[in-house]
Amino acid sequence: MKKLFIVYLLFITTISLQAQQITIVIDNATLHIGDGSVIEKGTVIFKNGKIEYAGPQKDHGFDDNTASIIDGTGKHVYPGIIATGSGLGLIEYSAVRATRDAYEVGVFNPNVRSLIAYNTDSKVIPTVRSNGILIAQVVPGGGVISGQSSIMKLSGWNWEDAAVDTDNGMHMYWPGVYSYNYEKGTYEVSSSYAEEVNEINTFMQEAKAYCSVENHKEKNLKFEAMRELFAGKQKMFVSANAAKAIVGAVDFAKTFGIKIVIVGGRQSYRVTTLLKENNIPVIIESTHELPAYDGDPVDLPYRLPGILKSAGILCGLTLSDGGDSFWGMRNIPFIAGTSAAYGLTKEEALQLITLNNAKILGIDNNYGSLVAGKSATLFVAEGDVLDMKTSVLTNIFINGERIKVENWQDDLSKKYEMKYGIEVK
């Protein structure tokens, strides 16, 4: 019977994708709220997927019969980490073409939607979720305007079920100010930059003119897809790194009266006044990268979040730089941890990947911090989650659902530990 029981248990813990009905209490834990504040001794109570209480420890009045109580003594509770700019659910093995659904061909594809290609059963997702990343912005790539992203919770039966906010953002790559000359092996000021910007402007002008009329006899799907953006209900996430590119993107936003977010922003420190004046947030794509220029301070990328924070810019952080923006998302906590060694406090660093990312995505009414009324998307860790040395998770909840912390990698590990008789710690 024992064997059967284990199987049964596994079933419950792995596929508990049902709405939470029982009240869960995490008591006597350190609460990292996500807004920069911390409560040393706190209690979190949630039911039906919503946080009912998150604050200083209180006599909650529940017992094991009325609630599931987790002893948080010595433990830490965090709001679910939010990954932006991810290829989660779209890419399974980046070198295997058949498993890549993150890029579409064409220059302007605003009508393309990442949502419908999102694979809830990707083997990658559980490995990322186990590190506390519970919400992800899943973005399309390719071309200049790549399409629309949706916000997904990292558990769900299908993409409809997993969607937190559908077609939430529009994505664009700002043209390169500098180009690489393959013949000479040199970087130069791009000679086609102005022309490329003109092309974007033309597309935008025509789209805007089109959107000023409700019903067209002949529908243009690309332009139809832009209505929310021009109506101010959708943000455009513009990838721009060089100072001049950021300046160009900000001007572009003003010209077309749209809300933008700068993604990347490696040289955003050069144009903080402009960003601040125009109230434009930045999502830094990683702190773990090399400085752009040889002579830049060796730790400039580590310091960038701190620089933007001091300049009063709303700054988010993710790990979408390069081709590992799916499996690599599990390292987001450490990307944030680095910024805490270089200018931010630990709570400020956490805020980058929780409340700030939520604010920038426009989902902060429900996610991003441990506040009553918000979704119970949170996790419990034995130590500081931003430091790999101590970042060991014990409980995960998405919209109140209990998520198994262990994933198939842990199972595989255990299988071989058993083979070799290695004592499991």
Partner 1 sequence: MKPFLLLLFTGILTVSGLAQSTFPVNGVADNRERVYAFVHATLVVDPTTTIADATLLIQSGKILSAGTNVTIPADAIVVESKGKFIYPSFIDLYSGYGMPAKQNPPQGRGPQMLNNNTTASNWNQAVTPEFEAFTFFSVDTAASRKWRNAGFGTTLSHRKDGILRGTGALVLLGDESTGKMVMKEKVSSHYSFLKGSSTQDYPSSQMGSIALIRQALYDADWYAKGGDKIEKNVSLEAINNNKTLIQIFDATEKLEILRADKIGDEFAFQFVVKGSGNEYQRINEIKASGASLIIPLNYPKTPDVSDPYDAELLSISDLKHWEMAPANCAMLAAAGIKFSLTSEGLENKTDFLPALRKAIQYGLSETAALKALTTIPAEMIKSQNEIGTLNTGKVANFIITSGNIFDESTIIYENWVNGIPYTVQQQKPDVRGVYKLTVDNRIYGLAISGKAATPEFAVIKNTDTLKATGNVTESTVSITFNDGLEIIRLSGWAGDKSFGGTGQINSAWINWNATFTNVYAEKPAIKKDDTIAIGSMIYPFTAYGATSLPKQQEILITNTTVWTNEDAGVLKNYDVLVSNGKIIKVGKNIAAKNATVIDGTNKHLTAGIIDEHSHIAVTSGVNEGTQTLSSEVRIGDVINCDDVNIYRQLSGGVTSSHILHGSANAIGGQTQLIKLRWGVAPELMKFEGADGFIKFALGENVKQSNWGDDNTVRFPQSRMGVEQVFEDAFTRAEEYMAAKNSGALVRTDLELEALVEILQEKRFITCHSYVQSEINMLMKVAERHDFKVNTFTHILEGYKVADKMKMHGAGASSFSDWWAYKYEVAEAIPQNPNILHEEGVVTAINSDDAEMARRLNQEAAKSIKYAGMSEEDALKMVTLNPAKLLHVDNRVGSIKEGKDADLVLWSDNPLSIYAIAEKTMIDGIIYYDYSKQATIMENAANERARIISKMLHEKNAGSPVIPISTKENRLYECDDDGDYVKGN
410 vs 425: CA distance, rounded Å: 12
Within residues 55-114, the interface with partner 1 by CB under 8 A covers: 91-96
Distance in Å, CB of 302 to partner 1, minimum: 9
Largest CA distance in the chain: 73
Interface with partner 1: number of residues (CB under 8 A): 61
Within residues 357-416, the interface with partner 1 by CB under 8 A covers: 386-392, 409-410, 412-413, 416
Q: How far is CA 104 from CA 88, 217, 224, 285, in A?
A: 16, 27, 18, 21
Contact by Cβ (8 Å): 75, 381: yes
Within residues 273-292, the interface with partner 1 by CB under 8 A covers: 288-291
Distance in Å, CB of 290 to partner 1, minimum: 5
Q: Closer to partner 1 by CB, 4 or 298: give it.
A: 298
Q: Closer to partner 1 by CB, 25 or 344: give it.
A: 344
Can you say whether the dihedral through the CA atoms of 346, 348, 351, 357 is positive or negative?
Answer: negative
**Which phi and psi (to 5°) does residue 285 adopt?**
-85, -15
Does 8 contact partner 1 by CB under 8 A? no
Token pair 């805490």 is at which residue? 340
Q: Closer to partner 1 by CB, 244 or 374: give it.
A: 244
275 vs 295: CA distance, rounded Å: 25
Does 234 contact partner 1 by CB under 8 A? no
Distance in Å, CB of 389 to partner 1, minimum: 5
Does 324 contact partner 1 by CB under 8 A? yes
Within residues 129-158, the interface with partner 1 by CB under 8 A covers: none
93 vs 190: CA distance, rounded Å: 33
String marking each residue 330-359 x if it binds partner 1 according to CB under 8 A: xx--x--xx-xxx-----------------
360 vs 234: CA distance, rounded Å: 11
Q: Closer to partner 1 by CB, 8 or 180: give it.
A: 180
Other C-beta atoms within 10 Å of 85: how many? 27
Q: Closer to partner 1 by CB, 124 or 353: give it.
A: 124
Beta-carbon contacts of residue 108 (< 8 Å; ≥ 6 apart): 143, 144, 145, 203, 222
Q: DSSP string of 25-54?
A: EEEEEEEE-SSS-EEEEEEEEEETTEEEEE
Does 192 contact partner 1 by CB under 8 A? no
Beta-carbon contacts of residue 40 (< 8 Å; ≥ 6 apart): 30
Does 185 contact partner 1 by CB under 8 A? yes
Distance in Å, CB of 316 to partner 1, minimum: 19
Dig out the tokens for 113 from the structure. 């939607």
Binding partner 1 (rule: CB under 8 A), the pick from 66, 187, 232, 233 is 187
Q: Applying CB under 8 A, which residues contact partner 1?
A: 91-96, 123-124, 127, 178, 180-181, 184-189, 242-244, 270, 288-291, 293-295, 297-299, 323-324, 326-327, 330-331, 334, 337-338, 340-342, 386-392, 409-410, 412-413, 416-417, 420, 422, 424-425
